[in-house]
Amino acid sequence: MKLSARQICFFLAAVAPAGKLVLMPSVLAARAGNDLLFPVLAQIAVQAALVFAVLLLARDGRTVYAMIADMAGGLIARTACIVFAAFLLFASFVPLVEQKLLVQSLFYDTLPSYVAFAPFFLFSAFLCAKPLAALGRVWDVLALLFLTGFAGILLLSVGSADYGALAPVGNAGAERFGRGLAETTGWFYDAALLLPLAGKFEYKKGLAWKGALCSLLGGALILFFLATYYGIFQEIAVTQLFAFAHMSKYFSGITALGRIDYLFIFAIAFVMTFCAAMPVQAAADALTDAFGRTKPLAVSLSVLFNAALFAVMLVFNFAPSETIAAVTRRLFWIFPLFTAGAPLLLWTAVGIGRLIGRKTHAKK
């Protein structure tokens, strides 16, 4: 069963943004200061364009594997899928470390053993092994949960925010803007997550536009969040690692009612749990395409990937900040290479393929 166009839109507008609210705001505040909105604005614009490109690419109903195999043969297509799956597993590092830090900070008073985080990989394996229809339906529910949680937190927070702290605009300068842009690429790879889904959703007329618009809408939510975040914390924003869990506690009613904002925080944390598992799911899906879509293969890959990631997480257990820093500061170039490079390469190849096809047809 295919995903519906609506589910793709829900994912882009109200599920994917959840993964960008954990550590990205503090990284941005550290790099771009009060101009933190501009690097994200640029990322959002590029991402919307890439989403448009990927969705348009998928309009003929072929999977990425099928597209490459039609042009260059099965071997190259399989190799491409393996490389792309490797990238997605690499991309999953940031959300996994984020999830681990979030769990430690948000759900425990004292530092828990790494075993507390281990069940996540069971959940992730379970999600990866499920058919795509289940994933689409999960997005339907998550979109509603995220919007409720987001609206709740923002409603409780806006009163404490001084949006004037974002001025003067352009204070940070080009270099800090550039660093902000470079170091946030690790969070903007929605188009890459959509790529393995090509051919597995109903392409309705105008979906590419709608998808891009939903991506912009999700971006607008992130911008609003960042503005409020900086408006509340200002100079100390850089130290607020899990801002979404702290922003709303300054609401005056909290004293009387208790931490009712935890309801909204848990709703977002719930969505984030799924976001953290998304790259692994996409990686398993990409490989399943390449090696035959069978249930045993899907289950084996999901177990294998999650076991491997669990092992990696154990190795990096004592250095989560260094892991994040390594991925976002030194290896950030890998993200645009795949997120932008892969769709552009595919577009070019498909274009050339069509051109050759037309010429052959004309000669006949």
Where along the sequence are the contacts to other proteins (CB under 8 A)? Answer: 4, 6-7, 10, 103, 106-110, 112, 116-117, 119-120, 122-123, 126-127, 130-131, 133-134, 136-138, 140-141, 144, 257-259, 262, 266, 269-270, 273-274
Supply the minimum distance, in Å, between the C-beta of residue 159 and other proteins: 20
- The distance of closest approach from Cβ of residue 119 to other proteins in the complex, given in angstroms and rounded to an integer, is 5
| Closest CB 265 distance from other proteins, rounded Å | 10
Rounded to whole angstroms, how far apart are CA atoms 195 and 191? 6
Shortest spacing between CB 282 and other proteins, in angstroms: 16
Q: How far is the CB of 273 from other proteins (least distance, A)?
A: 6
Output 70 or 140, the one with its CB closest to other proteins. 140
Environment class of residue 316 by beta-carbon count within 10 Å: exposed (0-12), middle (13-18) or buried (19+)?
middle
Q: What does DSSP assign to residue 62?
A: -
Q: Which is nearer to other proteins, 129 or 287 (CB)?
A: 129
Q: Return the structure tokens found at 159.
A: 């009163």
Nearer to other proteins, 29 or 280 (CB): 280
**Residue 201 phi, psi dihedral angles, 5° rounding:** -135, 155
Of residues 234 and 317, the one with the C-beta less far from other proteins:
317
Q: Are the beta carbons of 198 and 57 closer than 8 angstroms?
A: yes
Chain centroid to CA 291: 25
User: Least distance to other proteins from the beta carbon of 277, Å?
Assistant: 9
Q: How many residues does the chain have?
A: 364
Distances (CA, A) of 343 to 38, 49, 50, 67, 286: 24, 11, 7, 12, 14
Within 13 Å, how many C-alpha atoms sit on residue 347's CB side? 14
With a CB cutoff of 8 Å and minimum separation 6, the contacts of 255 are none
Q: What is the DSSP letter of 323?
A: H
28 versus 275: smaller Cβ distance to other proteins:
275
**Is residue 114 exposed (0-12), middle (13-18) or buried (19+ Cβ within 10 Å)?**
middle
Give the nearest distance from C-beta 178 to other proteins in angstroms.
37
Contacts of 190 (CB under 8 A, 6+ apart): 12, 16, 47, 50, 51, 215
Least distance from other proteins to the Cβ atom of residue 153, Å? 16
Q: How far is the CB of 281 from other proteins (least distance, A)?
A: 11
**For other proteins, which is the closer residue by CB, 123 or 347?**
123
Q: Token match 């790879």: residue?
A: 189
Q: Which is nearer to other proteins, 109 or 362 (CB)?
A: 109
Q: Say how many C-beta atoms besides its own lie within 10 A of residue 140's C-beta.
A: 14
DSSP 8-state symbol, 300:
H
> Among 220, 246, 268, 247, which Cα is nearest to 37's?
220
- CB nearer other proteins, residue 168 or residue 258: 258
Nearer to other proteins, 99 or 185 (CB): 99
